[in-house]
Amino acid sequence: MPTVSVKRDLLFQALGRTYTDEEFDELCFEFGLELDEITSEKEIISKEQGSIKAAGASDVVLYKIDVPANRYDLLCLEGLVRGLQVFKERIKAPVYKRVMPDGKIQKLIITEETAKIRPFAVAAVLRNIKFTKGRYDSFIELQEKLHQNICRKRALVAIGTHDLDTLSGPFTYTAKRPSDIKFKPLNKTKEYTACELMNIYKTDNHLKQYLHIIENKPLYPVIYDSNGVVLSMPPIINGDHSRITVNTRNVFIECTGTDFTKAKIVLDIIVTMFSEYCEKQFTVEAAEVVFPNGKSYTFPELAYRKEIVRADLINKKVGIRETPENLAKLLTRMYLKSEVIGDGNQIEIEIPPTRADIIHACDIVEDAAIAYGYNNIQMTLPKTYTIANQFPLNKLTELLRHDMAAAGFTEVLTFALCSQEDIADKLGVDISATKAVHISNPKTAEFQVARTTLLPGLLKTIAANRKMPLPLKLFEISDIVIKDSNTDVGAKNYRHLCAVYYNKNPGFEIIHGLLDRIMQLLDVPPGEDKAGYVIRASEGPAFFPGRCAEIFARGQSIGKLGVLHPDVITKFELTMPCSSLEINIEPFL
Partner 1 sequence: MADGPVAELLLRRLEASDGGLDSADLAAELGVEHQAVVGAVKSLQALGKVIEAELRSTKRWELTSEGEEIAQEGSHEARVFRSIPPEGLAQSELMRLPSGKVGFSKAMSNKWIRVDKSTADGPRVFRVVDSMEDDVQRRLQMVQRGQAEKLGEKERSELRKRKLLAEVTLKTYWVSKGSAFSTSISKQETELSPEMISSGSWRDRPFKPYNFLAQGVLPDSGHLHPLLKVRSQFRQIFLEMGFTEMPTDNFIESSFWNFDALFQPQQHPARDQHDTFFLRDPAEALQLPMDYVQRVKRTHSQGGYGSQGYKYTWKLDEARKNLLRTHTTSASARVLYRLAQKKPFTPAKYFSIDRVFRNETLDATHLAEFHQIEGVVADHGLTLGHLMGILREFFSKLGITQLRFKPAYNPYTEPSMEVFSYHPGLKKWVEVGNSGVFRPEMLLPMGLPENVSVIAWGLSLERPTMIKYGINNIRELVGHKVNLQMVYDSPLCRLDAKPRPPPTQEAA
Tell me the C-alpha distance between 201 and 193, whole Å.
12
User: Is residue 461 involved in binding partner 1 (CB under 8 A)?
Assistant: yes
User: Is residue 308 involved in binding partner 1 (CB under 8 A)?
Assistant: no
Q: Least distance to partner 1 from the beta carbon of 365, Å?
A: 6
Tell me the C-alpha distance between 209 and 203, whole Å.
10
Tell me the C-alpha distance between 459 and 449, whole Å.
17
Closer to partner 1 by CB, 153 or 182: give it: 153
Q: Least distance to partner 1 from the beta carbon of 446, Å?
A: 8
Per CB under 8 A, the segment of 187-195, 283-291, 436-444, 554-562 that binds partner 1 is 436-444
Q: Least distance to partner 1 from the beta carbon of 102, Å?
A: 34
Q: Print the binding letters for residues 361-400 with partner 1: x by CB under 8 A, - otherwise.
A: xxx-xx--xx---xx-xxxxxxxxxxxxxxx-xx---x--
User: Is residue 432 involved in binding partner 1 (CB under 8 A)?
Assistant: no
Element (H or E) spanning 30, and its range?
Answer: helix 21-31
User: Is residue 445 involved in binding partner 1 (CB under 8 A)?
Assistant: no
Range 318-357, binding partner 1 (CB under 8 A): 318-320
User: Is residue 457 involved in binding partner 1 (CB under 8 A)?
Assistant: yes
User: Is residue 420 involved in binding partner 1 (CB under 8 A)?
Assistant: no
Q: Least distance to partner 1 from the beta carbon of 555, Å?
A: 23
User: Is residue 589 involved in binding partner 1 (CB under 8 A)?
Assistant: no
User: Is residue 411 involved in binding partner 1 (CB under 8 A)?
Assistant: yes
User: Is residue 490 involved in binding partner 1 (CB under 8 A)?
Assistant: yes
Q: Least distance to partner 1 from the beta carbon of 385, Å?
A: 7
Give burial (CB, 10 Å; 0-12/13-18/19+) of 554.
middle
User: Is residue 246 involved in binding partner 1 (CB under 8 A)?
Assistant: no
The three-state DSSP-derived secondary structure of 460-507 is: HHHHCCCCCCCCEEEEEEEEEEEECCCCCCCEEEEEEEEEEEECCCCC
Tell me the C-alpha distance between 437 and 491, whole Å.
7
DSSP reduced 3-state for 552: strand
DSSP reduced 3-state for 168: coil
Going by the DSSP 8-state scheme, the letter that residue 129 receives in this structure is B
Range 25-64, binding partner 1 (CB under 8 A): 29-32, 34
Element (H or E) spanning 403, and its range?
Answer: helix 392-406
Pairing of strands 410-411, 472-483: parallel
Among the listed residues 91, 186, 399, 405, the single contact to partner 1 using CB under 8 A: 405
Range 498-517, binding partner 1 (CB under 8 A): none
User: Is residue 406 involved in binding partner 1 (CB under 8 A)?
Assistant: yes
Going by the DSSP 8-state scheme, the letter that residue 74 receives in this structure is G
Among the listed residues 240, 288, 479, 539, the single contact to partner 1 using CB under 8 A: 479
Closer to partner 1 by CB, 26 or 425: give it: 26
Closer to partner 1 by CB, 514 or 561: give it: 514
Between helix 361-372 and helix 311-318 the angle, nearest 10°, is 70
User: Is residue 165 involved in binding partner 1 (CB under 8 A)?
Assistant: no
Tell me the C-alpha distance between 107 and 512, whole Å.
83
Closer to partner 1 by CB, 190 or 360: give it: 360
User: Is residue 212 involved in binding partner 1 (CB under 8 A)?
Assistant: no
User: Is residue 543 involved in binding partner 1 (CB under 8 A)?
Assistant: no
Q: Least distance to partner 1 from the beta carbon of 191, Å?
A: 35
Q: Least distance to partner 1 from the beta carbon of 238, Å?
A: 24
Going by the DSSP 8-state scheme, the letter that residue 335 receives in this structure is T
Among the listed residues 171, 252, 409, 502, the single contact to partner 1 using CB under 8 A: 409
Binding-site size for partner 1 (CB under 8 A) equals 100
Among the listed residues 15, 41, 46, 68, the single contact to partner 1 using CB under 8 A: 68
Going by the DSSP 8-state scheme, the letter that residue 428 receives in this structure is T
DSSP reduced 3-state for 374: helix
User: Is residue 472 involved in binding partner 1 (CB under 8 A)?
Assistant: yes
User: Is residue 527 involved in binding partner 1 (CB under 8 A)?
Assistant: no
Q: Least distance to partner 1 from the beta carbon of 122, Å?
A: 14
φ/ψ of 250, rounded to 5, equals -125, 120
Range 143-162, binding partner 1 (CB under 8 A): 152, 156
Length of the chain, in residues: 589
Element (H or E) spanning 309, and its range?
Answer: strand 305-310
Tell me the C-alpha distance between 105 and 284, whole Å.
12
φ/ψ of 106, rounded to 5, equals -70, 135
Angle at 196 between CA 193 and CA 200, to 5 degrees: 135
Closer to partner 1 by CB, 57 or 393: give it: 393
User: Is residue 118 involved in binding partner 1 (CB under 8 A)?
Assistant: no
Say if CB 271 and CB 96 are below 8 A apart.
yes
Among the listed residues 442, 513, 555, 566, the single contact to partner 1 using CB under 8 A: 442
Going by the DSSP 8-state scheme, the letter that residue 94 receives in this structure is P
